[in-house]
Amino acid sequence: MRGSSPEAPQPASLGPWRLTGVVARTDLFTIYRARPAEQAASAGDLYAVKVLNERWQESAAAAAMLRSEAAVGRQVTHPNLAPVLSYRLDEWPPFVVTPYYSGGTLQERLARGWRPGVEGALWIARQTAQALDALFRPHGWMHSDLKPANLHVAAGGHVTVLDMGLARPAGRGASLAERPIAGTLHYMAPEAITSPLAADIRSDLFSLGVILYELLAGRLPHDGDDPAQLAALKRDQAAPPLHSFAPRVPPDVARLVHACLAKEPLRRPQTPAELVERLVRLEIEYFARSL
Give the active site residues.
Answer: 145
Among 188, 215, 184, 223, residue whose Cα is nearest residue 202: 188
Among 78, 52, 46, residue whose Cα is nearest residue 67: 52
Amino acid at 115: R
User: Strands across the sheet with 17-25, in order?
Assistant: 13-14, 17-25, 29-36, 47-52, 95-99, 86-88
Instruction: Please state, in angstroms and rounded to a whole number, the distance separating the CA atoms of residues 192 and 236.
Output: 14
Tell me the pairing of strands 141-142 and 17-25: unpaired
Helix 251-260 vs helix 272-290: angle between axes, to the nearest 10 degrees?
160
- C-alpha 242: how far from its chain's center? 22
